[in-house]
Chains A and B, each alone.
Chain A
Amino acid sequence: QVQLQQWGAGLLKPSETLSLTCAVYGGSFSGYYWSWIRQPPGKGLEWIGEINHSGSTNYNPSLKSRVTISVDTSKNQFSLKLSSVTAADTAVYYCARRDYYYDSSGYINWFDPWGQGTLVTVSS
């Protein structure tokens, strides 16, 4: 059973860079997209971006200028960096595996499993 375990700094000052890492245990690293999703306190989920094992990325256009997602296939890990953080970046950050396939019905994808989440607070 695949498990994701994430870690990183939980308290940042404005203008600093958020850095989180997610390790994948118990499954293949290839054939999926490895994703970051965040949730501000009391609000909904926001997709940040994703990467596959070969390093191909997709980013949320609203965050693209500040986001870098990278992968270390030797360690089955992927990482998120978000630069120039502000209070608006305060959120629980989740890593998740995105699986997908095509069939006669169309394109099907889903996020499963998810990491445990990391609360990142930006405050001066």
Chain B
Amino acid sequence: SSELTQDPAVSVALGQTVRITCQGDSLRSYYASWYQQKPGQAPVLVIYGKNNRPSGIPDRFSGSSSGNTASLTITGAQAEDEADYYCNSRDSSGNHLKGVFGGGTKLTVL
């Protein structure tokens, strides 16, 4: 299967830790990257590879991976972290090399 599955919605209390997960067979072969998207804006890369953060991304964002599951963890969630989060990976099934996105997780900070 070339799909990536994410929980549609997750909530977290301000200052607490939240984990957003992404599942798919392709994650056994390819690392996920993670994107934050706020309303009306283009997605922004927050994590790629094993656990790499682009410059400017706070260190409360971290990534991990095990088997067919990739995770994005926000340690000490802030109000500005409320957004949609998407995972992405590659997929080489069916003799097609293509990109694939998860359906997205809407994060609410309470």
Q: Render A91-120 as a binary contact track against B, CB cut-off 8 A, 1 for contact.
A: 000100010000001111111101111000
Distance of A2 from chain B, by nearest CB (Å): 12
> Is B101 engaged at the interface, CB distance under 8 Å to the other chain?
yes
A10-18, A21-29, A55-63, A77-85 - interface stretch: A55-63
Complex Cα distance A98/B68, Å?
22
Known: A59-B98, A108-B48, A109-B48. A117 touches B42 (CB 8 A): yes
> Is B15 engaged at the interface, CB distance under 8 Å to the other chain?
no
Q: How large is the interface on B (under 10, 10 to 19, 20 to 34, 35 or more residues)?
A: 20 to 34
Known: A107-B30, A107-B90. A47 touches B48 (CB 8 A): no
- Main SS of the interface on chain A? strand
Q: How many inter-chain contacts with C-beta < 8 Å in the A-B complex?
A: 74
Give chain B residues whose Cβ lies under 8 Å from the Cβ of A59: 98
Most buried by B among A105, A106, A111: A111
Residue of A nearest to B89 (CB): A109
Complex Cα distance A49/B43, Å?
17
Known: A47-B100, A105-B31, A108-B49. A61 touches B90 (CB 8 A): no
B99 close to A50 (CB less than 8 A): yes
B30 close to A47 (CB less than 8 A): no
Q: How large is the interface on A (under 10, 10 to 19, 20 to 34, 35 or more residues)?
A: 20 to 34
> Is B60 engaged at the interface, CB distance under 8 Å to the other chain?
no
Known: A58-B97, A59-B98, A107-B90. A45 touches B104 (CB 8 A): yes
A47 close to B96 (CB less than 8 A): no
Known: A109-B48, A111-B88. A46 touches B101 (CB 8 A): yes
Complex Cα distance A112/B43, Å?
9
Complex Cα distance A108/B98, Å?
14
Complex Cα distance A60/B99, Å?
8
Q: Which 3 A-B pairs have the closest CB atoms?
A: A47-B99, A110-B48, A108-B49
* Contacts A108-B31, A111-B35 supplied; 19 other A-B pairs, CB < 8 Å: A37-B99, A37-B101, A44-B101, A45-B35, A45-B43, A45-B101, A45-B104, A46-B101, A47-B88, A50-B99, A58-B97, A58-B99, A60-B99, A98-B99, A107-B30, A108-B48, A108-B50, A109-B90, A114-B42
